Amino acid sequence: MIRVTNLCKVYRTGAHQVTALADVNINVGPGEFVAIMGPSGSGKSTLLNLLGCLDIPTAGSYHLDGMEISGAGNAALAKIRNQKIGFVFQTFNLLPRISAVRNVELPMIYAGVAPRERARRAEEALARVGLAERMHHKPSELSGGQVQRVAIARALVNNPAIILADEPTGNLDTRSGEEIMAIFQELNRSGATIVIVTHERDIALHTSRILQFRDGRLLDDEPVADPLRALVNEAPGLAEQAGPASNSAAEAGPAGSSVEQSRLAGSITAEAGPAGSRAEQAGSSGNSAAEAEPAGDNAAGRGVAR
């Protein structure tokens, strides 16, 4: 899914040169849930911005979803950002003066989706993050956690190949952070590839793999043996569906899961119960679902819309 080789990023500010990233090599497979950790200034955001095609590397190459990114022109990069990447910012970056649902529609505007279809998908995405009733509110009328959920809905609405989040819980309290992680876990279970940057080990332990950075270099790459489950015992918002599903995870077979998964990808919350459980099973048991698809990588996540 992501293949980064010898990636370098050097910032030049006047006479100074800051090497934010030096020779980074990373592979992230489809359906993985990765956390990037490291002290402040270690280059986490720089890496994520490069992965998100928001910035251009000084050297090295970057393959995303089978495409070589380094060297792509402005228009091509815009298209990649639009179609392949869902970016979630620490500071949310919603447009303040338009409603949640209009915010979620934005990526689809640039993708050329027809207005009616756009509204439908935006509402679906908001329902998926548990904000169905709040969709006509403006960002200023929502809590921090809710705003971040809108941002996540916006990130996933174009069914991107990968979701990138730079400290998505950084501006939230523990509880809201948990809720956000529950959503990410749910998305990951339904097949999405996710990379998040975080300071907090507690947050990172919700993922399945932690990359440690220091001074622009990758220090450590450890799998998480037994990822924490967000909101296992409680059930607000989206967790209502995620919770019970996890109990019956083992019951579903790989074949059934792939079918269910593709069908469900668009609306997790809409279809709760056994269906949700099978989808979840597929996500957590390696990549059984993805393997069943000819396309290979998380086809499930995009299967419905394409």
Partner 1 sequence: MNLLESIRVALEGIMVSKLRSFLTTLGIVIGIAAVIAVVAIGQGGRAVLMSELEKIGTNIFAIYINWRSDKPVTGREFNLNDVAVIKDSIPDITHLSPSSQTMGDVRGTKDKKYSQITGVSSDYSYIRKINMKEGRFFTDEDDAGKRRVAVLDEDLAVQMFGRSQALGNKITLENTPFLVVGIIAKGDSALGFSENPSVYIPIQAWQVMFGEHIGMIEGSASAREKVDEAMGQAVKLLERRHHDPGKYAGQSMEQEMQTANRITGVMTIVIGTIAGISLFVGGIGVMNIMLVSVTERTREIGIRMALGARRRDILVQFLIEAVVLCLLGGLIGTALGIGGAYLIARIAKWPPLVSWWTALLAFVFSAAIGVVFGILPANKAARLNPIEALRRE
Ligand X SMILES: Nc1ncnc2c1ncn2[C@@H]1O[C@H](COP(=O)(O)OP(=O)(O)OP(=O)(O)O)[C@@H](O)[C@H]1O
- Residue 80 in tokens: 């990649």
CA dihedral 53, 130, 33, 284 (to 10 degrees): -150
Number of residues binding to ligand X, judged by CB under 6 A? 12
Binding partner 1 (rule: CB under 8 A), the pick from 60, 107, 139, 243 is 107
- Stretch near partner 1 under the rule CB under 8 A, chosen from 92-100, 119-127, 206-214, 250-258: 92-100
Instruction: Determine if 24 is a binding residue for ligand X (CB under 6 A).
Output: no
Closest distance of CB 280 from partner 1, Å = 29
The interface partner of residue 40, options being ligand X, partner 1, Mg ion, none and the CB cut-off 5 to 8 Å by kind, is ligand X
Contact 118, 106 (CB under 8 A): no
Closest distance of CB 39 from ligand X, Å = 7
SS (H, E, C) 253-269: CHHHHHHHHHHHCCCCC
Show the beta-strand stretches assigned E in 215-253: 217-223
Closest distance of CB 22 from Mg ion, Å = 17
The interface partner of residue 41, options being ligand X, Mg ion, partner 1, none and the CB cut-off 5 to 8 Å by kind, is ligand X
* Residue closer to partner 1, measured from CB, 124 or 178: 124
Question: What residues have CB less than 8 Å from 211, skipping those under 6 apart?
Answer: 26, 34, 35, 36, 37, 218, 220, 221
The interface partner of residue 17, options being partner 1, ligand X, Mg ion, none and the CB cut-off 5 to 8 Å by kind, is none
Binding ligand X (rule: CB under 6 A), the pick from 1, 2, 4, 20 is 20
Contact letters for partner 1, residues 7-36 (x by CB under 8 A): ------------------------------
DSSP state at residue 227: P
d(CA 67, CA 65): 6
- Residue 68 in tokens: 């070589």
The interface partner of residue 98, options being ligand X, Mg ion, partner 1, none and the CB cut-off 5 to 8 Å by kind, is partner 1
Residue 296: how many CB atoms within 10 A of its CB? 13
Burial (0-12, 13-18, 19+ Cβ within 10 Å), 41: middle
* Residue closer to partner 1, measured from CB, 155 or 252: 155
Residues 26-85 that bind ligand X (CB under 6 A): 38, 40-46
Alpha helices (H) in the chain, listed in sequence order: 44-51, 74-83, 100-111, 115-128, 144-156, 174-189, 201-204, 239-247, 254-264, 274-284, 288-292, 299-303
Closest distance of CB 122 from partner 1, Å = 13
Closest distance of CB 74 from ligand X, Å = 19
* Residue closer to partner 1, measured from CB, 52 or 177: 52
Contact letters for partner 1, residues 147-186 (x by CB under 8 A): -------x---x----------------------------
CA 168 vs CA 11, 120, 150, 290, 300: distances in Å: 24, 25, 12, 26, 24
d(CA 211, CA 217): 10
CA 294 from chain centre, in angstroms, equals 23
Residues that bind partner 1 (CB under 8 A): 49, 52, 54-55, 74-75, 78-79, 81-83, 87, 89, 93-95, 97-98, 102, 106-107, 109-112, 154, 158
Residues in contact with ligand X by the rule CB under 6 A: 11, 13, 18, 20, 38, 40-46
